[in-house]
Amino acid sequence: MPSAACWLAVAFLCFLPQMVRVQIADPDLWGRISVGAVLSQAGHLPRVDDFSYTANGAPWIDHEWLAGVVFHSVLDTFGEPGLLVLKYALFMACALLVFLLHGQVYRVAPIVSAAALVAASPAYQLGFVATLRCQAFSFPFTLLFISLLEAVRLARLRERHLLWLIPAGVLWANLHGGIAMGLLAIGVYGAAALALGRVRTALAMLALLPALAIALALLNPYGLTYLDFLFEAWTLDRTGVSEWQPLFAGGLHSANAVGAACVGLGAVLGGLGLFAAARRRFGQAAADPTRAEALAPAALLLLFVAMTSISQRLLPFLALTLAAVLPVFGPLLPGAARFGPRVAARAASLSRARVAVPVLALLVLAGAAGWGALSGGRPLFASVLPSERTAPGARHFLYPDGAARFLRDSPYAGRLLNPFSQGEFLYWTLYPRFRVAIDGRFEEVYEREQFDEVYAFYHRVDPAHPERVVEFAERSGADVVLFRTFHPGLRVLARAPGWITIYRDAAFALVARREHVEQDSSERAGPERDAPASTIGDFFDGDRERFAAYPR
């Protein structure tokens, strides 16, 4: 155990610099803490939308409500450092589950676990580089489900131990909709057990699916409608949402090379597992029957490979699954019978190096602390809101922190037309004085047509018909419109009769109806480039009443 603990520390410290180096505030975080604020201040969960003006009053099923309560409670109690500690704890839970699966079920040396985690790190660390997002809860739960299913498959545990997946699944479902990954894993393992003739195990696993579905329907705030919503959310057309696009949508290039490597390795190992199972099925099994027992993890890998190819957001799930089940495929590799025992003995000897390993851990810790301190000034327990000041020239997601501060401190109120990515931050900062046009609750409250209209306004401006910018702004009923400063529609609307620019900085500008701001129509400048970077704590204020009147 001391050796395993040291290797676990090494694995964690290898990731710490990566997590600190890109420690940005995730845009979805603001929507989640808004839910926690409503529950804390109004005394109930939000069941209808009151944050937008385009879908105001629409039913709202929040499949991540419990995560929002956790995030808000941690921020309210411990501040931003507490949120970062929670993020590190969730990663450590993932690493610990991999070590437990490898040590207690597969009986491999801890160095194998550390190597598996590090090998998969470029892919699944994507789930932890942001400050925190709800899918971070799904990662340890996915590993927990796989660990229990693997333990039952290899007869390390009895079938009755699968019942632990019911309360775990209920908790998971209220934290994040990633419970669908757990349901898929149960179905794959049950089907594989049935194909291999393990009827008792197959029945236990397949019977678990309806039992878990019933528990999910009964033990969530939304009842049976939660299951309907979950199915719709996983089958929703997310065209226009970048992180849900296919992994190779733009071809193979350096940006998705890591994902391609992960998909390729998963496809190869999954193919080997299916080939071994086919040999057994047709009477050509190897002398070692365990070579054919990789059917379930192989099928799960191939399923996750296919899903990741369709949606790059699922890449961390594939990478974590690869790290977890990697030892299963060792015996299937060419030359495993000849070199496997030698490699295992060498790994065991390294695991007994109880003097060298702690020293290595300390060296990695020192390097991580140094890198973290030098990587753009990113501290361990604080984050930044990427803006023109902290990420000059970036054309991807930036926070309109200056524009939000301006509107928050202004006398204005009304309807705010905004780009998709910034919506949740804006309604957290400006509610109840402003309602937004669109935000990250794409599958929860908005119709596809509503999203498409706003998306087209910001991404499909026709230079030959600039009047359409003004037409949509008028038709949308917006009182204020948020633009990126390079957006071609900014100049068009700012010059239109009845509209005026009221704020501009290096990244964002606000254009308002003149009649809406006629008392004060002067343009305000944004913060200087050398102004301090904003953090989550700067926008998590102590206002205990803003959400108290949120409607039921």
pTM of the predicted model, to two decimals? 0.88
Going by C-alpha positions, the residue among 180, 309, 186 that lies closest to residue 234 is: 180
> Average model confidence (pLDDT) for the chain?
82
**Tokens describing residue 179:** 């419970």
**Tokens describing residue 235:** 């089958």
* Interval 26-47 mean pLDDT: 93
Q: How many CB atoms lie within 10 A of CB 434?
A: 22
Task: Give the pLDDT band (50/70/90) at residue 166.
Answer: very high
Going by C-alpha positions, the residue among 382, 421, 387 that lies closest to residue 536 is: 382
Going by C-alpha positions, the residue among 319, 399, 389, 301 that lies closest to residue 26 is: 399
Please, are residues 510 and 419 in contact by the beta-carbon 8 Å criterion?
Answer: no
Sequence-distant (≥ 6) Cβ neighbours of residue 45 within 8 angstroms: 35, 38, 39, 62, 65, 221
Does residue 310 sit in helix, strand or coil? Answer: helix
- Confidence (pLDDT) at 10: 66
Chain centre to alpha carbon of residue 368: 24
Spatial separation of the C-alpha atoms in residues 479 and 476, rounded to whole Å: 9
- Confidence (pLDDT) at 192: 93
Please check the confidence at residue 350 and state whether its pLDDT lies above 60: no
Q: Give percent of the chain with pLDDT exceeding 70.
A: 78
DSSP 43: S
Spatial separation of the C-alpha atoms in residues 165 and 160, rounded to whole Å: 10
Q: How many CB atoms lie within 10 A of CB 179?
A: 25
Task: Give the pLDDT band (50/70/90) at residue 255.
Answer: low
Consecutive H or E run containing 499? strand 499-504
- Confidence (pLDDT) at 289: 43
Q: How many CB atoms lie within 10 A of CB 79?
A: 15
First vs last C-alpha separation in the chain: 52
What is the total residue count of the chain? 552
Spatial separation of the C-alpha atoms in residues 233 and 433, rounded to whole Å: 30
**Tokens describing residue 232:** 């719709």
One-letter amino acid at 381 equals: F
- Confidence (pLDDT) at 377: 56
- Confidence (pLDDT) at 287: 43
Spatial separation of the C-alpha atoms in residues 186 and 207, rounded to whole Å: 10
More confident of the two residues 484 and 23: 484
Task: Give the pLDDT band (50/70/90) at residue 288.
Answer: very low
